[in-house]
Structure 1
Amino acid sequence: MSKIEIPQEMLHKLGPAMAMDVHWIDVKLKNGKTYYRLVVRGSRYITGFHTDKDGIGRIPFSSKDIKNIRRQSAFKCYPFW
């Protein structure tokens, strides 16, 4: 299980929980890659993808790789930011 901490300066972008203490976010990495619909638990830790059982799985990056986050986008066809 991954437990990647969101950098402190980005936590305000989470907004209110979408379900009981769960957020879904999109993450943009410093290398330009984008990951969509990641699960955040505890209002601080990325634990997996929305398709993982209970939102718990392996994440292919670390906290230091995160460039920006936003609440889940409904459409992937729009520019990231």
Structure 2
Amino acid sequence: MKIICRCEDITEEEIIQKIKEGYHTIDELKRVLRVTMGLCQGKGCRRHLARILSRELGIPIEEIKQPTYRPPLKPVPIRACGRDV
């Protein structure tokens, strides 16, 4: 068993299963598995995920659409969001 997303504890086998079920983009896999949604926001697993998609779908890695990331650019504790309200 190979862990791909350490933050969310997602394995390569789980990712491959979802690809076989019809989830063919990083955004789709993110929605169903939470892959790339942990503390690192995909910095540790996004490239691995793209490689798996490329291999399993038989398409060049350059054609794997990367998700758009939005602020905050670094993790912010929830308690920091309510200070100035």
TM-score range, shorter chain: under 0.3
Higher Rg of the two aligned structures: 2
**What is the TM-score with the length of structure 2 in the denominator?**
0.25
Larger relative contact order (Cα-Cα within 8 Å, sequence gap ≥ 6): 1
Q: Which has the higher helix share?
A: 2
Could you state the TM-score of these two structures normalised by the residue count of structure 1? 0.26
